[in-house]
Amino acid sequence: MDRIIQQIPRFFSPGHLALLAESVGMTLALTVIGCVSGFLIAFLVVFLRQTPGLWALPLRLIGIAYVEIFRRIPFLVVTYLVLFFIQAFTSDASLFTIAVVAICIYATAYTAEIIRGGFESVARQQVEAATAMNFSRWQTLIGVIIPQSWPVILPPALAFAVGFIKDTALVSQVGVFELTFRGKELNNEGFSGILVFGTISLIYFAISFPLSRLGSRLERRLASSRSQKSRKRLRPA
């Protein structure tokens, strides 16, 4: 205990604080870039998965297989796979790129399910009406499905991204300089594990807690706007 108190001034020196701030930025950058790109690719995966017609059967199967396989593999294994696959073919990819690709692959699989759920929440008659008016599939998606389903998609997708801030800790295994890796480094330098990992967990908490609060508030707000809309619709004209 005395050792910890002795170490506190040295641990919270400006140099260390700058390092920690830098690694917080790294953690956030990994999460944001990975999850946003994953979210966009997931739209494509869902679009593929819902292509009608016999000729598109392989496309649908690829979409389904992608989602079902990557949702059943631990993130750590995905990270190792991406690391060694990329390194087998090119030796000059940075570790940051590798981590982002791993996060993107994983986020795509999870958000694709969220997006599919959102698309399916749109009443079928809406899509049929769009088809009857000779909308193309793309027009139906942009003009009919997305405007009605984003309040359903956004809150869980945001919750996934916020939850993923914590999962990026596993990327420290391949040596990206994010928060957890920095913590291990400081611990190896001889700082007390309780001090280091206590601080690191408080930092994670300080990032994750406000964001998850914000997310659930957004969810309530969107949910109430949706139910108000349906109440309006139910009122006789």
Q: What angle do CA 184, 186, 188 make, to 5 degrees?
A: 70
Instruction: Pick the closer one to another protein by CB: 12 or 84.
Output: 84
Q: Tell me the CA distances in angstroms from 63 to 44, 109, 142, one per residue in order.
A: 9, 9, 20
Closest CB to another protein among 1 and 123? 1
Please report whether residue 20 would count as binding another protein according to CB under 8 A. no
91 scored as a contact of another protein (CB under 8 A): no
Q: Residue 26: CB partners within 8 Å, gap ≥ 6?
A: 96, 176, 177, 178, 179
User: Both tokens of residue 146?
Assistant: 């997305």
Name which of residues 22 to 81 contact another protein (CB under 8 A).
68-69, 72-78, 80-81
- Sole binder of another protein in the list 16, 60, 137, 166 (CB under 8 A): 166
Burial class (CB in 10 A: 0-12, 13-18, 19+), 188: exposed
For residue 102, which of 72, 63, 75 has the smallest C-alpha distance? 75
Q: Is 194 in the site for another protein (CB under 8 A)?
A: yes
Among 8, 44, 51, 84, binds another protein (CB under 8 A): 84
Interface positions with another protein (CB under 8 A)? 1, 3-4, 68-69, 72-78, 80-81, 84-85, 88-89, 166-167, 169-170, 172-173, 180, 183-184, 187, 192-194, 196-198, 200-201, 204-205, 208-209, 212
